[in-house]
Amino acid sequence: MSGKHKRRSPLPRSSAISTPGRLVASPSVAEQVRQGLLDDLLPELIDAINARTAELARLRTERALERLSVGSRVVISGEAKPQYLRGQSGEVHEIDGDVVVVCLDTPVGRFTSGHVRCPPGLLVPLGT
């Protein structure tokens, strides 16, 4: 086997770089993935990353829901689609699991009833 194709052993956990309040993965870990040195671990890494991503999304939703209650005044954030919903204000009409129904002050576009179902992360509470 030529030296070009030799596998190096993965870096120890101490290869992480500590910064105040955070642990940042060493660039060499990402480089090892790019070079194929961690190919045997890819399915496990993918599962772990997907699980963590889902957990972070769940936590963001929970935090957003904590700021809202029925009757809260909100504005739809600049990340909403369709774009004509961005900046529209209204009142929380209902909270249905992880979806919030907002009654817009002024119906727009296809939302002729004025009721829009939104993920809570797209809503910015007013007057808080």
Residue 9 backbone dihedrals phi, psi, to 5 degrees? -75, 150
Q: What is the tens place of the pLDDT at every residue in 57-102?
A: 999 999 999 999 999 999 999 889 999 999 999 999 999 988 999 9
**Average pLDDT value for the chain:** 83
Q: Classify residue 9: in a domain, yes or no.
A: no
Residue 117: its pLDDT value, please? 95
Confidence of residue 104 (pLDDT cuts 50, 70, 90): very high
Q: Classify residue 58: in a domain, yes or no.
A: yes
User: Are 53 and 36 part of one and the same domain?
Assistant: yes
Q: Classify residue 78: in a domain, yes or no.
A: yes
Q: Classify residue 10: in a domain, yes or no.
A: no
Q: Classify residue 80: in a domain, yes or no.
A: yes
User: Are 26 and 47 part of one and the same domain?
Assistant: yes
Q: Classify residue 2: in a domain, yes or no.
A: no
Q: State which residues form the domain around 39.
A: 16-65
User: Are 47 and 73 part of one and the same domain?
Assistant: no
Total domains in the chain come to 2
Q: What is the tens place of the pLDDT at every residue in 14-36?
A: 444 445 555 555 667 788 888 88
User: Are 39 and 80 part of one and the same domain?
Assistant: no
User: Are 75 and 58 part of one and the same domain?
Assistant: no
Q: Residue 107, Cβ neighbours under 10 Å: how many?
A: 15
User: Are 58 and 74 part of one and the same domain?
Assistant: no
User: Are 86 and 120 part of one and the same domain?
Assistant: yes
**Which residues have a Cβ under 8 Å from the Cβ of 69 and sit 6 or more positions away?**
92, 95
Q: Classify residue 93: in a domain, yes or no.
A: yes
Residue 18: its pLDDT value, please? 46
User: In sequence order, what E strands does 33-78 have?
Assistant: 73-76
Q: Classify residue 32: in a domain, yes or no.
A: yes
* pTM beyond 0.85: no
Residue 119: its pLDDT value, please? 94
Percent of the chain with pLDDT strictly greater than 70: 78
